[in-house]
Amino acid sequence: MDPRIDSLRAMKQRGEKIAVLTAYDYPLARLLDESGIDVILVGDSLGMVVLGFPDTTLVTMEQMLHHTAAVARAVKHAVILTDLPFASYETPERALENARQLIDAGAHGVKLEGGAAKRAEIEAITHAGIPLMAHIGMLPQQVRLEGGYKVKGKTPDEVEALLADARAVEEAGAFAVVLELVRPAVAEQITRAISIPTIGIGSGQNCDGQVLVTHDLIGLFPWFTPKFVSREAHVADEIRGAVSAFINQAKSTPTRGS
């Protein structure tokens, strides 16, 4: 196992929280890395906050490779993980082929959505020596089938299914697992039940770490912010202010000869 990945597992063992943020380009990745973030996720969320798609299902492998390479040029310290995009891991063979491409582009590991149903794909990747983070709970790539972003773990059957998924990805070799929109009490139960780190998003504070889309955190995508996000900055307002100042300055400068 890559020592950078081992360090994340060791953080769980000593009770140290793991901080994960997304980046999709060189300047943002460099800023996150220089700030000391543990993990940079080149997430397929770029489909919405960078490319203007309605959800993540339209993101392609070519786009993920392009953005991964940009991030890799910036990062010196953080672990870089990249999402396998929608329909890129439908079979174990395809999953491994595309995971290898992302590693060649500069990722240290990959992430895919799904629990027990994706065990064969996870094993194909991890048995090849590629670090993999799993993702259970709400699966954004299934949002069209789900009919929206819905909290998971509301019924005893859902809780059992989530626990089974968590154990399955651990057994398949995943080094960590994202819990998205899982009821906090259930996320805490899962965190206690498995030995690999849990990374929560909208799943309460008792996971082993937290991940957010950086654009949500800093207010760079002001048109939509998830309910569970507390903005720490309002970058969109700063940009608008700077652009307005430039426009006023440019338009107030007299044309020579007038």
Residues with a catalytic annotation lie at: 180
> CB–CB of 17/11 below 8 Å?
yes
Q: Are strands 209-212 and 79-83 parallel, antiparallel or unpaired?
A: unpaired
CA dihedral 179, 182, 188, 193 (to 10 degrees): -60
For CA atoms 171, 111, 8, 185, give the dihedral sign: negative
- Taking the C-alpha atoms of residue 155 and residue 58, their distance in angstroms, rounded to an integer, is 31
